[in-house]
Amino acid sequence: MTEKEKARDLFLEGFNCSQSVFTAFCDRFGIDEEAAKKISAGLGGGVGRQREVCGAVSGAAMVLGCISAPTDGSDSESKKKNYELVREFSDRFRELHGSIICREILEDRAKNKGAVPDERTAEYYKNRPCLKAVEDAAEILIRMLDEN
């Protein structure tokens, strides 16, 4: 199963966009799947359902951190490399979705109604671009990881 398929399946199981993307790649970095789901949970819905940065983008930024982030606070070269990768991902994602901001991607399909997640129904999946965002994020990441 590809990471794109795993991300898709996780989303369809009810995990949020960030969890779906980050967890789909956790095996590459030796991260426990349960831990990955917990670490990325708060970034769904545009950070705690505030409709800010898309959870698929946040999950992808976490994946990119696993390959390029510094472990030494004074390592400015690694910081630069990580920021470049995240910006490149964001540019590629933005080309497909017009934005990296959840509320802009949703185009008012989902008003911020507080912290309660919407029920996952056939209508939810029909009207939301979230599954496509998760799949696209995973596909972009696969390409970027292969390139780096």
Each residue's pLDDT tens digit, 45-97? 999 999 999 999 999 999 999 988 878 888 899 899 999 999 999 999 999 99
pTM of the model: 0.92
Domain count for the chain: 1
* 107 band by pLDDT with thresholds 50, 70 and 90: confident
> In the chain, count of helices (H) and strands (E)?
9, 0
pLDDT above 90 (res 2): yes
Counting other chains too, the contacts that 121-126 makes at CB distance below 8 Å and 24 or more residues apart are 125/12
**CB of 59 within 8 A of CB of 40?**
yes
* Domain region containing 78: 3-147
Rounded to an integer, what distance in angstroms lies between the CA atom of residue 2 and that of residue 28? 12
